[in-house]
Structure 1
Amino acid sequence: MVIIIKLLIVDDEKDIRNLIKLYLSNENYEFVEAENGLDALSLISSDIDLVLLDVMMPKMDGIQTCLNIRDNFNMPILFLTAKIEDTDKLTGFLSGADDYISKPFNPIDLVARVKANIRRYKNYSISQSETTSKILLNEITVDLSSHVVCKNNDVINLTKTEFYILKLLIENRGKVYSLEQIYNTVWKSESVLNSESTVSVHIRNLREKLEDDLSHPKYIKTVWGVGYRVD
């Protein structure tokens, strides 16, 4: 039986939507299209496996659309945009995005990131029979079953990707992971264009949520020239 993967493509330019479909045409995906955020919200449903979301759109931009989707759904969301500064990426990840693809697209990069995020989403789906398991790190508690992270009993709202990066590091205390290793492990894919930059922004975002003093990180330590670790 062929399993159909359904993608929602949200972009106000029809040529861009057609180009994305062309690049992904060999992957047996089913496509749903929207030309702005409001239309996307009317089409979003639990059978959508991944959202490709433009940032700059009329009626409702990608940031607000992503925030609205995250209120009810946890499928991967990949931003499509020409805005490639780290501050733009940080805004996107804070709104709940899982990845960031720069315009103009590299076809190989687009296909690889879509496949990697779908694979990760499927692999990390929580089983109903999964037993509760908690990991403690000083004031932080990571519940692997419920995907809830607390600091001093206060819930810290992490995105799915942030959670799995923290989970990787906290389950392997003392081991140093490079940006490439983090990407390969969390995204379940070989590193692609700009993947290390993507991981760096997620690490920064995690620190902003977990650390008391960003200039002296207590939880996620930097090993200069190598990567990151949790002690």
Structure 2
Amino acid sequence: MGESVKLYYASSIQDALSHLTRFPYQLIVVQAGIYKEKTHQLIQTMRKISQIPILVIMLEDEDKSIFYVESGADIAVKVSSCREDILANIYALIRRYLSWVENNNNTQDIIQIEPLLINQISRKMLWDNYEVSLSKHEFDFLYLLVTAPGRVYTFEQIYETVWHEHPHGNINNIVWCMVRRLRKKLRKKDSRAGDIIRSVCNVGYYFEPIKDENT
């Protein structure tokens, strides 16, 4: 890793979350404070937004790194840890993340998650073998979500990807209206179908497969 490193120090929680939705990063470092619950909530929120590795620098008197890992962090180390050990953890986290990104960037032409099937080549979406007629934006939005089940896409990310424009105006309402129409179409085929599009209040949307009622 001899390349130059670009760092950004967030001035506030809002600043940090805003940057995560707009710019690509390879690692998030969180300085834990005395208010552990706030750090816990921050990590949970960031994990909903992104799969970027999270390293927590703990206070010297803390001894339960599992608390931060359970919150969504990848690793937690004490502020007094050896510099070489911290760097080794950073390199390992970034290497695994870049490998994960590379593997997940391969376009999938056909995705089947029963009873849903979405074909990128023909731009058709089937529910239980019945085609659902979607607009261009609806198809692109659904395909975006389905390629990464459970990953939360923010309103800004959705707008940039689906509309191919820099976010401007009331994009939250634009995306919400499109999702409302899409859910309505899905529910005409199956009352459960609209539930595959899950929302995170004031953040965005993610895909959640239908659970088998027999399990």
Q: TM-score with structure 2 length normalisation?
A: 0.43
Bigger helix share: 2
Choose 1 or 2 for highest CA Rg: 2
Q: TM-score with structure 1 length normalisation?
A: 0.40
